[in-house]
Amino acid sequence: MSISNNHELYKVFYWAAKTGSLSKAAAALYLTQPSVSHAVKQLEDRFGMALFYRTSKGVTLTQEGSILYSYIEQSQILITLAEEKMAALKNLDSGELRVGGSDSLFKHYLLPYLEDFHRRYPGIKLHLNHGTTPEVITFLKEGRIDLGVVRMPIGDSQLEVRESIRLQDCFVAGAGYSELKDQVMSLEQLLQHPIILFSRNSRARMTINELFQHYGYTIKPEIEVGSVDLLIEFARKGLGISYVTKEFVANELQEGSLFEIKLDVQLPPTHVGIMTMRNMPLSRSAQQFIDMVH
């Protein structure tokens, strides 16, 4: 068997020096002894100096061989560590998973999947980056996350989006607006009441703006807040009518602390998508998480 590339030559040298025997090196590397002897000779010819003393008991390093061994030993240790690391990544024993999404999607949608993933693969470090849909897209393009969980549609040729679940947004109010409970309202009537919207440039905010514009109205919130939890709490307190995702207030609707405002137009559903960079390889941890969620 011919050994010609540098890595294989140094590997033979390392095992010959480590075991003190050409035959033991051959056995460790599943080579013939003549192949090992030839590899050592190739290195000695290349450097123009002897690397081993041959004895009846095996081989010992010359001074020059000892110097070479001190370097090669470090490289072999690093290669072994690298192989162990790659095996751990393959088996999901180590690594990281970086996910981007909104606070509400993390809390109301992703949390059970994240808990399950962490339970199955405790060696994988979880990194969560919170942001609006435009911010999560930026995180992904800058390489700060492996995948993003966002509301669709996403019109960007650089991104690949796998559709996941469907959500339904709605307007909700608390006991302070109980007189509206059994009414079917028009958009014009709705706008006569204080509206509470998410303050940031989210997909949900863009969607409701576009819907009202389609019917010839402009929705101007009286109150803007920075989190879905505040949208819910402000509605409960009677400060106005909040625009929220129905699935995220299921408990409040069931217990009666909030009720859904009935409208004479249908609010379109939205879909949550799992977003990755197109034509970019995914880590095994990211692919495994997508398979769990999708």
**pLDDT recorded at residue 4:** 55
pLDDT (mean) for 38-42 = 94
φ, ψ of residue 260 to 5 degrees: the values are -85, 135
Task: Give the architecture (CATH level 2) of 169-268.
Answer: 3-Layer(aba) Sandwich (3.40)
Higher-pLDDT residue of 144, 82: 144
Least confident range from 91-105, 178-192, 204-218, 224-238: namely 91-105
Give residue 283's pLDDT: 86
pLDDT above 60 for 210: yes
pLDDT > 70? residue 2: no
Q: Which residues are CB-contacts of 76 (< 8 A; sequence separation ≥ 6)?
A: 10, 11, 14
Domains 100-164+274-293 and 169-268 in one fold: yes
Vertex 260 angle, CA 100 and 206, to 5°: 40
pLDDT of 261: 96
pLDDT at 1 (0 to 100): 46
More confident residue, 117 or 281: 117
> The domain 100-164+274-293: what is its CATH number?
3.40.190.10
* Residue 3: predicted pLDDT: 55
Domain ranges, ordered by start, for the chain: 6-90, 100-164+274-293, 169-268
Distances (CA, A) of 106 to 35, 217, 257: 58, 32, 23
Topology (CATH) of 6-90: Arc Repressor Mutant, subunit A (1.10.10)
Beta bridge partners of 262: 184
What is the tens place of the pLDDT at every residue in 186-206? 999 999 999 999 887 777 888
Average pLDDT over residues 61-65: 95
Which tens digit of pLDDT belongs to each residue from 71-107? Answer: 998 888 888 777 777 776 777 888 889 999 988 899 8
232 contacts 252 by C-beta, under 8 angstroms: yes
pLDDT of residue 164: 86
Higher pLDDT: 242 or 268? It is: 242
The predicted-structure confidence for 109-135, as pLDDT tens digits, reads as follows 999 999 999 999 999 999 999 998 889
Distance (Å, whole) CA 286 – CA 246:
29
Non-local CB neighbours of 204 within 8 Å, separated by 6+ positions = 151, 169, 198, 243, 245, 270
Over residues 251-262, the mean pLDDT reads: 96
pLDDT for the residue 273: 92
Task: Indicate the pTM of the whole model.
Answer: 0.66
